[in-house]
Structure 1
Amino acid sequence: MELRHLRYFTAVAGERSFTRAAEKLRIAQPPLSRQMRDLEEELGVALFERGSRPLRLTPAGRFFHEHALQILERADELRITTRRFGEAGRRQLIIGFVGSALYGGLPDVVRGFRAAHSRLEVGLIEMNTVEQIAALKEGRIDVGFGRLRFDDPAIRREVIVEESLLVALSPDHPLRERETLRFVDIAAEPLVLYPRSPRPSYADQILSFFRDRSMEAQVVQEVRELQTALGLVAAGVGISLVPQSVQHLRRHDVLYRPLAEDSITSPLIMSFRASDTSPEVREILEVIRAIYNTSRSIVSSPAN
């Protein structure tokens, strides 16, 4: 049994189809089916219920799938860690981040970390949370700052802060006179939603607030960038819901109003590999705690 057998098997189990798995793996279906038959013969058990549509795993197959995933994750961690040892002469920390994190404490975190580690190369790459998880597993970044909660045993996450959301309005919007808005006040307003893609994203957090209240969001336009959303708000196209830190981006043509409901928040989350015990990751956490002035501002959120 080789790692490629495990990768082929998990692809078939995940896609629940030999055809789709073969396309994903970029191999022909007959060799893939043959590899799976060879694996079953080696194990002495059937892993798939081949008469089912979509394809289902047998009880033995489910057991094997669970452990195959763990083995592949450990193999990926070993590959990443070994590569890091090979790069020991070139110390670096690569940070992935969502664009809205730049309006909060992330610039202070990076500046403080750079000041304490002048010989360490610090790089920043903008990417959404889903892309950050893949990049962490592949070793392309060391730390991610995103807004989506997720469960992945290979990744540890730390909630840095729960940001209240603000309603962004045009200067002549009828709701501009109110100091505080309730969610019901904005439910029927045309909504400018971002980011348009890829999903899931911050946009899905916003839509969930409507669904939780049995309301339907009146999405008038979906855009890729926060700045574009604010530009459309300024033009009177609609309103938008933005993290509180975005008000630091002072625009004369956009007003911000808080929501009365305390539960309408968006987290800023730091993510890193669960197996990463490097001093750089530990020290950037210390910088975050210093900036937010208390370790209680960071709540550990292990995967369940």
Structure 2
Amino acid sequence: MDLRQLRYFAAVARERNFTRAAEILNIAQPPLSRQIQLLEEELGVTLIVRKSRPLKLTDAGRLFHEQALQVLGRVDQMKDATRRVGLNRNRVLSIGFVASTLYGGLPSLVRKLRRSAPELDIQLLEMLSIQQVAALKEGRIDLGFGRLKHGDPNISSTVLREERLVAALPQDTALARDSGPMPLAALSGQKLIVYPKEPRPSFADQILNLLQDEAVRPSEVLEVREIQTALGLVAADSGICIIPASARQMRSDVLYRLIEGPRAVSPVILSHREGDVSRYLDLVKRLIRDMYAENPAWLEASNVGAPIARAPDADTADD
């Protein structure tokens, strides 16, 4: 088994088609098929169900695909790190984030991190929570700030705080006439805009599940790709959107009301690879504690009670 075979298998697993995978890899299909066959013979198991269209992975194939992606990601990360050391370049720290965290503590944290570790080349990559889990396992990012809990044993996640949810309302709607906290029940019969449309599960599912649990039934649900689009549609009087409280800074041409109830919250979650003992991870956790201790205005306005300042020490996995 070699890295070439892992890359070949990863391409076939991604494309679910030998022909497309061969085109992407710039090789002929017969050699590609032969390499996958040799891989299966070495492992002694079938990885791909070839009779289905598109191709399907067996249970063994899914496990092997997940492990192969981690190996390939680590190899790419090792190559890049080695080049940087050889060329006297800075150490790279890649951070994945969901867009709404840009309106909370992420910018402040990154500024503190740059001052505390000037040797770091910090890369910020916008990606959804579910994408962060895969990116961490593949070695494409080192840390993730998201909102979706998961049960992956390879990823350690800590809920940093629970952020209040608010309803973004068109200026002329009847619900916007009151500035006080709004019960979820007020959304019954209203047109709701949720994001992101895909991939799922996502923040959209958090909101839809919350409404379902509270027996709140919107008249219509419109799914869009990103929060910016959702709030733009609210401004155009096309519906109501529920967002984290810190994201109220995004638009000033809509009105916002806090949503009542202890469950009307969205977690802010720090994720990293299980077993990561990097000193930079410890530094990030310390800076988060320091940042919360300062009690900045954005935290007071959006948090539920006190921030979970001990959380960065806990490494509590979300099961």
TM-score by length of 2: 0.73
Would you say 1:300 and 2:315 are equivalent positions? yes
| Residue 217 to residue 45, structure 1, CA distance change in 2 (3 Å) | same
Query: Counterparts of 2:211 and 2:192 in 1: how far apart (Å)?
Result: 11
Query: Counterparts of 1:262 and 1:74 in 2: how far apart (Å)?
Result: 42
- Of 67, 71, 76, 2:73 maps to 76
Query: Counterparts of 1:184 and 1:265 in 2: how far apart (Å)?
Result: 16
| Residue 95 to residue 35, structure 1, CA distance change in 2 (3 Å) | closer
* Partner SS state of residue 295, structure 1: coil
Name 1:201's counterpart in structure 2.
202
CA offset digits 1:16-55 (Å, max 9, x no partner): 7767876886766544443344344445566667778887
**Deviation, structure 1 residue 229:** 2.9
Query: Counterparts of 2:42 and 2:72 in 1: how far apart (Å)?
Result: 21
How big is the alpha-carbon RMSD for the aligned residues of Structure 1 and Structure 2? 3.8
Would you say 1:183 and 2:184 are equivalent positions? yes
Q: Which amino acid aligns with 1:109?
A: L
Unaligned stretches of 5+ residues in structure 1:
none
Would you say 1:237 and 2:238 are equivalent positions? yes
Query: Counterparts of 2:43 and 2:139 in 1: how far apart (Å)?
Result: 32
**Deviation, structure 1 residue 218:** 3.8
Name 1:87's counterpart in structure 2.
84
Structure 1 contact 93–123 (Cα < 8 Å) conserved: yes
**Deviation, structure 1 residue 191:** 1.5
Higher alpha-carbon deviation: 198-207 or 212-221: 212-221
Name 1:162's counterpart in structure 2.
162
| Residue 278 to residue 103, structure 1, CA distance change in 2 (3 Å) | same
Q: Number of aligned residue pairs: give it.
A: 300
Query: Counterparts of 1:9 and 1:303 in 2: how far apart (Å)?
Result: 31
CA offset digits 1:200-246 (Å, max 9, x no partner): 43223222323444555444644444344334323432211010212
| Residue 96 to residue 63, structure 1, CA distance change in 2 (3 Å) | closer
| Residue 256 to residue 214, structure 1, CA distance change in 2 (3 Å) | same
Q: Which amino acid aligns with 1:286?
A: R
Query: Counterparts of 1:249 and 1:36 in 2: how far apart (Å)?
Result: 49
The percentage of counterpart residues that share the same residue type is 46
Unaligned stretches of 5+ residues in structure 2:
294-307
Structure 1 contact 168–233 (Cα < 8 Å) conserved: yes
Q: Which amino acid aligns with 1:233?
A: V
Name 2:266's counterpart in structure 1.
266
CA offset digits 1:130-180 (Å, max 9, x no partner): 444454455444322222233444433322222121112234322232623
* Partner SS state of residue 271, structure 2: strand
Query: Counterparts of 2:27 and 2:218 in 1: how far apart (Å)?
Result: 43
Q: Which amino acid aligns with 1:113?
A: L
* Partner SS state of residue 87, structure 1: helix
Q: Which amino acid aligns with 1:280?
A: Y
Q: Which amino acid aligns with 2:206?
A: Q
Higher alpha-carbon deviation: 138-147 or 45-54: 45-54
Higher alpha-carbon deviation: 114-123 or 258-267: 114-123
Higher alpha-carbon deviation: 240-249 or 210-219: 210-219
Q: Which amino acid aligns with 1:295?
A: A
| Residue 92 to residue 3, structure 1, CA distance change in 2 (3 Å) | closer
Query: Counterparts of 1:215 and 1:79 in 2: how far apart (Å)?
Result: 47
**Deviation, structure 1 residue 86:** 3.5
* Partner SS state of residue 181, structure 2: coil
Query: Counterparts of 1:100 and 1:198 in 2: how far apart (Å)?
Result: 17
Q: Which amino acid aligns with 1:203?
A: A
| Residue 111 to residue 47, structure 1, CA distance change in 2 (3 Å) | closer
Query: Counterparts of 1:303 and 1:24 in 2: how far apart (Å)?
Result: 37
Query: Counterparts of 2:269 and 2:239 in 1: how far apart (Å)?
Result: 28
Query: Counterparts of 1:194 and 1:152 in 2: how far apart (Å)?
Result: 23
Higher alpha-carbon deviation: 209-218 or 157-166: 209-218
* Partner SS state of residue 270, structure 2: strand
Name 1:121's counterpart in structure 2.
121
Structure 2 contact 184–216 (Cα < 8 Å) conserved: no
Name 1:281's counterpart in structure 2.
281
TM-score by length of 1: 0.76
